[in-house]
Amino acid sequence: MPRIPLIAGNWKMYTSLAEARTLAGAVVSACKGLTDREVMIAPPFTALATVAEVVRGSQVRLAAQNVCWEEQGAFTGEIAPGMLRELGCTMAIIGHSERRQIFGETDALINRRVAGAMRFGITPILCFGETLAEREAGQTMAVLERQVRAGLSGIAVAEPANLVLAYEPVWAIGTGKTASEEQAQEAHEFVRNLLLDMYEKSIAQQMRILYGGSVNSGNVDALLRQPDIDGALVGGASLKADSFERIIHFRQ
Ligand code: 13P
């Protein structure tokens, strides 16, 4: 069974409410009639309710950019999975390199977020990727293996659609420096084999691995043509309606 490609927009800490409403409306229009791919957008928490209204009834899925593992409690600054569900969120980005690097999130913490999200029916998009120094030191695959195994430690996956992975080399994020198709495919194939080692074959083969890092309207087609690249996690180019529309309409 072929994997259904997922195009995901990570809006990071951008968009006023008015901008979020307009951009979400453009994404909904761009998706009309598309049946062979999925599209998701992850606005900042403050815009989730507004964007939820815009995407309601459409095929555009709503995601959060992070999620706590607890149902409720004294966790200042965190958002519970149930709170996201209430807004219509069905996915959450977890372990983004900006969370790891700027906010000190560890593999262990990220693993708790993945487990918590899944317990409450939120599909995690688990992000991982090496820094430039790690790549240059020849440690790329070791870093990916550590982040994927630790992030998924103790995580059972009953349905392949319940978990999404995203390879985002840190040196390619926001730099305009995309990984080549070969570099990306090599990493994705490595992670596919890890999944095959960790999960049943039918599950591992169907799980989606997205690529992220300077994806734009010019490079998306070539990236998505790679056998183990099952979609894109897009930052900057998801903030402009025309470029994200072209990415949504990628041609394999
Ligand atoms: P850019 O597409 O801006 O490089 O960001 C990628 C990213 O971090 C998506 O999560």
SS3 labels along the chain: CCCCCEEEEECCCCCCHHHHHHHHHHHHHHHCCCCCCEEEEECCHHHHHHHHHHHCCCCEEEEECCCCCCCCCCCCCCCCHHHHHHCCEEEEEECCHHHHHHHCCCHHHHHHHHHHHHHCCCEEEEEECCCHHHHHCCCHHHHHHHHHHHHCCCCCCCCHHHCEEEECCHHHCCCCCCCCHHHHHHHHHHHHHHHHHHCCHHHHHHCEEEEECCCCCCCHHHHHCCCCCCEEEECHHHCCHHHHHHHHCCCC
Does any domain span residue 1? no
Alpha carbon of 87 to ligand 1 centroid (Å): 24
Determine the structural domain holding residue 195 and report its residue range: 6-248
- Measured from CB, residues less than 6 Å from any atom of ligand 1 are 10, 96, 168, 173-174, 212-215, 233-237
What's the pLDDT score for residue 1?
A: 81
Q: What is the 169 CA–ligand 1 centroid distance (Å)?
A: 10
Strand partners, 231: 6
C-alpha of residue 9 to centroid of ligand 1, in Å? 9
Mutate to test the pocket of ligand 1, among 126, 164, 214, 247 (most ligand atoms within 8 A of CB): 214
Distance of CA 42 to the CA centre of its chain: 9
Q: What is the pLDDT of residue 247?
A: 98
Distance 72 CA to ligand 1 centre (A): 30
Q: What is the reported pLDDT for 172? A: 96
Does the pLDDT at position 12 exceed 90?
Answer: yes
* Of residues 223, 193, 198, 196, the one with CA closest to residue 210: 223
194-227 tens-digit pLDDT: 999 999 999 999 999 999 999 999 999 999 999 9
pLDDT of residue 86: 97
- Number of independent structural domains in the chain: 1
- Please give the positions annotated as active site: 96, 168
CA angle 132, 105, 51 (to 5 degrees): 95
Which atom number of ligand 1 is nearest to the Cα of residue 233? Answer: 9
Q: Is residue 52 part of a domain?
A: yes
Average pLDDT, the chain: 97
pLDDT digit string, tens, across residues 128-151: 999 999 999 999 999 999 999 999
Mean pLDDT confidence for 40-49: 98
Structure token digits, residue 173:
């994020």
Distance of CA 243 to the CA centre of its chain: 18
How far, in Å, CA of 173 to CA of 249, rounded? Answer: 22
Nearest Cα to 245, choosing from 8, 30, 5? 30
CA distance 122 to 115: 10
With respect to residue 13, please indicate whether it lies within any of the assigned structural domains. yes
Q: Hey, what are 140's tokens?
A: 């790329």
Q: What is the pLDDT of residue 18?
A: 98
Residue type, 89: C
Residue 90 neighbours by CB under 8 Å, 6+ apart: 61, 62, 63, 121, 122, 123
**With the CA atoms of 107, 111, 113 and 114 taken in that order, what torsion angle do they form, in degrees rounded to the nearest 10?**
130
Q: Tell me the C-alpha distance between 124 and 63, whole Å.
A: 9
- pLDDT over 90 (residue 252): no
Mean pLDDT of 78-92: 98
Q: Which atom, in ligand 1's list, is nearest to the CA of 175?
A: 4
Instruction: Taking each helix axis as running N to C, give the angle between helix 181-198 and helix 140-151, from 0 to 180 degrees, rounded to the nearest 10.
Output: 40
pLDDT tens for residues 232-242? Answer: 999 999 999 99
The CATH number of residue 19's host domain is: 3.20.20.70
